[in-house]
């Protein structure tokens, strides 16, 4: 092989037939495919409701709402009712409280919710009354509901729910005042039929008119951190009714039975209509209960064979802690007694 002088460099390489080859560039990426009209049609939307929008009333939004939509209702009062059919809707107040009142749909409720897993936030419901006297602020016909920061006042029922045995209902930071009626059947603050779980937390129930503040046929009922009181004028029957038993936790609530109560013998009833749900545990813990009745009511009346565990409850006035199977641990008198 003949050595090539280094001084010839690039020129010599070219003379010897070496042809420089450029490296190939990466091929350009194809442009993204445009969004199809079909995919746009089914994207979740935010529907705006109020005097300044195309949708003037909640019922107008209910008529067009699709699965997964969000409905934002401008603060104000609406004499309106609505039937919500979409699933996984979020329906919420915007800019303050929304008050829907004095009108019912389908002879049932101010809002009839037929879709599953709906969330309601910041809405006040009042004046629900229907021909069969079992109307509601919300009638739940779908499966699963969350209610937050809402209020139910002077309705026959606050919330009335059809059975959904695999679903959960959550009520939190909400208020129920002056609901209830018994003419001829009883309406309640809330009446939840056969859910897997009812959880009520950090809410207020006051001045119930006959019926019960809370009635739950759920497999599991959890009631924590609430204020549940008849007050001086309330005529409720039970504060809490779990008529078919089930797993029960009632803890850290403030409870009061007033002088006009329709049922002066019991504050909390477990399985008064028969133990149709398995009752693996019944725990009543760290509540404060005051009775303003002349005769001592039972704080808890347990009709199941499962021993109820009452622990750390503070009982005010003349009260029998427990009637039925169970154990009372660390019961405390009220301050000043």
Q: Could you tell me the CA-to-CA distances from 173 to 196, 230, 258 in Å, in that order?
A: 21, 19, 23
Closest of 328, 317, 263 to residue 288, by C-alpha: 317
Per-residue pLDDT tens listing for the chain (337 residues): 444 444 444 444 333 444 444 445 566 666 655 555 544 567 999 999 999 999 999 999 999 999 999 999 999 999 999 999 999 999 999 999 999 999 999 999 999 999 999 999 999 999 999 999 999 999 999 999 999 999 999 999 999 999 999 999 999 999 999 999 998 889 999 999 999 999 999 999 999 999 999 999 999 999 999 999 999 999 999 999 999 999 999 999 999 999 999 999 999 999 999 999 999 999 999 999 999 999 999 999 999 999 999 999 999 999 999 999 999 999 888 865 5
Q: Judge contact between 230 and 256, C-beta under 8 A.
A: yes
Closest of 123, 122, 157, 117 to residue 137, by C-alpha: 157
Sheet hosting strand 266-270, strand order edge to edge:
82-84, 109-113, 136-140, 157-161, 190-192, 214-216, 240-242, 266-270, 298-302, 320-324
Q: Report d(CA 8, CA 330) in Å as an integer.
A: 103
pTM listed for this prediction: 0.88
Instruction: Report pLDDT for 28.
Output: 66
Q: Judge contact between 157 and 188, C-beta under 8 A.
A: yes
Closest of 120, 124, 74 to residue 99, by C-alpha: 124
């Amino acid at each position: 092989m003949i050595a090539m002088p280094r001084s010839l460099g690039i020129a010599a390489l070219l003379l010897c037939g070496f042809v420089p080859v450029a490296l190939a560039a990466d091929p350009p990426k194809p442009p993204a495919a445009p969004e199809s009209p079909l995919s746009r049609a089914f994207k979740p939307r935010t529907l705006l409701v109020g005097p300044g929008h195309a949708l003037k009333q909640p019922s107008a939004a209910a008529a067009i709402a699709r699965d997964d939509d969000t409905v934002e209702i401008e603060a104000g009062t609406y004499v309106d009712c609505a039937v919500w059919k979409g699933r996984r809707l979020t329906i919420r107040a915007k800019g303050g409280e929304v008050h829907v009142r004095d009108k019912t749909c389908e002879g049932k409720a101010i809002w009839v919710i037929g879709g599953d897993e709906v969330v309601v936030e910041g809405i006040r419901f009042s004046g629900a009354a229907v021909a069969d006297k079992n109307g509601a602020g919300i009638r739940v016909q779908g499966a699963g509901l969350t209610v937050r920061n809402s209020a139910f006042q002077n309705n026959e029922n606050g919330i009335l729910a059809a059975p959904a045995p695999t679903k959960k209902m959550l009520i939190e930071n909400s208020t129920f005042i002056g609901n209830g009626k018994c003419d001829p059947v009883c309406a309640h603050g809330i009446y939840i039929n056969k859910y897997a779980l009812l959880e009520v937390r950090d809410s207020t129930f006051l001045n119930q008119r006959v019926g019960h503040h809370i009635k739950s046929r759920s497999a599991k009922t959890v009631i924590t951190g609430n204020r549940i009181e008849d007050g001086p004028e309330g005529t409720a029957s039970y504060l809490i009714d779990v008529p078919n038993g089930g797993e029960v936790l009632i803890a850290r609530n403030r409870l009061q039975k007033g002088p006009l109560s329709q049922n002066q013998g019991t504050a909390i009833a477990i399985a008064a209509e028969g133990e149709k749900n398995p009752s693996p545990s019944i725990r009543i813990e760290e509540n404060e209960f005051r009775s303003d009745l002349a005769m001592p009511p039972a704080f808890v009346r347990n009709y199941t064979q499962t021993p109820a565990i009452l622990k750390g409850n503070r009982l005010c006035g003349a009260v029998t802690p427990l009637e039925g199977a169970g154990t009372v641990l660390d019961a405390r008198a009220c301050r000043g007694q």
